[in-house]
Each structure stands twice: as C-alpha cells, then as structure tokens.
Amino acid sequence: MATDQPQQLGDKYLLLDRIGTGGMAEVYRCKMTRTMGFEKLIVIKKLLPQFVGDKEVVSQFIAEARLAALLQHENIAYVYDFGEIDGNYFIAMEYLFGKDLQSIMQRAGEMARPLSVGQALFIASKICEGMEYAHALKDLQQRPLHIIHRDLSPHNIFITYDGKVKIIDF
C-alpha cells in the first residue's frame, strides 16, 4: 500500500497514512466512519501481509488483541476493535495527539533542555500507575493475568499534547 494514498479497510475504516512499521505489523492513522456523518480519528495496527499465513504469528496477534481489549486504564492506550477483513488482521486503537517519549527526550537533548526532575517523576509515576494496573489485572473469571509489557521503553510511552502519559504496544 502506498503511504500517500488512502485505502479502505472494510466498510468503516479509511487508512490515511502509515505512521510506523514494526516486526510483525504496520500502524496507520485512520478515519473510522459510521452512519449519519460520524467520524473518529483512530490508529489501525495491521498484521504485515507476509505473516497472514503464519498460524503462530496470527495467534500471537490475536492474543495481543484479546489482552489489549481487557486493559482499561487512563495511562494505557485504549483498544476499540479487532478483526479480520479480506485477510487483513487488525487492531483499532485510540489515536493519541502528541509525541513518544523517545522523540521528546531526543529533542530536549538537541535543545540542551533536558526534562526537569519534576517532569521525569510525573511521567514515571504515570507509567507506574498504568503498569501496576496491568500487573494486577484479572480476566473475566477473576484469574490473575500476570501481564508483562516486554518492551516498556521510551518509544512505547506516549505523551499527549495535553499532558497525559499513555503506555502503548502491549
């Protein structure tokens, strides 16, 4: 898919542009459209085409979607939908207006203006709140899930323009 040409995914998602690519999926800025003019800017994480036929990778992607659907916390990006359309497995998630912590720290370093101790502590405390929630989460049968992020790094911490701290990519 060309990143500059919007492409329809099913009847409610319009993939606007690719904003990232990882090991097994690519991420798109997307417009969700419904009846009577309803529109919402979201993110679609779509399994890369070369993995669609790999049952193990598909299973991992589905497990990620199921887990992410259970995570409902102000410091964790929300998941709205999961599915498969025409062989494309996807997860629809909250679109965050802001920057990842890696980019923020890099820019602060370039400007010789590192984050203050107060800013760093605020961000760390919000990360801890989200992770404590995830670690304590139980499934619908009240069994502990023992969730581990596996890549809790500045690249997967998002700071919104209004100061919210969100953990992404569980």
Q: Active-site residue among 54, 86, 151, 169?
A: 151
**Residue whose tokens read 């992410």:** 68
Write phi, then psi, for 102 (nearest 5 degrees).
-60, -50
CB 149 within 8 A of CB 77: no
Active site residue 151: yes
Residues 6+ apart with CB under 8 A from 88: 9, 46, 47, 49, 52
Q: What is the dihedral of CA 79, 83, 89, 90, to 10 degrees?
A: -20
Based on its alpha-carbon atoms, the radius of gyration of the chain, rounded to whole angstroms, reads 17
How far is CA 155 from its chain centroid? 11
Sign of CA dihedral 109, 129, 163, 16: positive
Q: What residues act catalytically?
A: 151
